[in-house]
Amino acid sequence: MIGGRRTTRLEELIRETAPELGCAMVALEIMPDHLHLVVSATPHWVPNHIVGRFKGKTSRIVRQEFPFLQRMPSLGSRSYVWSTTGHVSADTIRRYSEAQRTRG
């Protein structure tokens, strides 16, 4: 699904959605078949609602703008991984996320 203009548009939508949810985007790495998104969020939203809002909005809009994607049963799975960072710095998270690009 991800590539070219779709990648650019997906990044735009994620950057637009983060402030709507009161989140600050710390890192974003878009891979060919998945993405890594790190946000800083207040406890106002529980993690599954944050993930659901990002996935729901981006899927809906990308499918509208790229109609050939409507033939796909889904643009992503229901799965996700979330974790709290504790005392890990934003820089450490960013470096980890960037390092994922080089993994096979």
Number of domains the chain is built from: 1
What would the pLDDT profile of 34-85 be if each residue is shown by its tens digit? Answer: 888 888 888 888 888 998 899 889 888 988 888 887 777 667 777 777 777 6
Task: State whether the Cα torsion 15-84-87-42 is positive or negative.
Answer: positive
Residue 28 CA to residue 43 CA, distance in Å, equals 21
Cα-Cα-Cα-Cα dihedral sign, residues 48, 85, 76, 35: positive
Token couple for 66: 């790229």
- The domain in which residue 37 lies consists of 5-102
Q: What's the confidence (pLDDT) of residue 103?
A: 55
Q: What is the C-alpha to C-alpha distance for residues 36 and 31, in angstroms, rounded to an integer? A: 8
The CATH number of the domain holding residue 67 is 3.30.70.1290
Res 87: pLDDT: 65
Percent of the chain predicted with pLDDT > 70: 78
pTM over 0.75: no
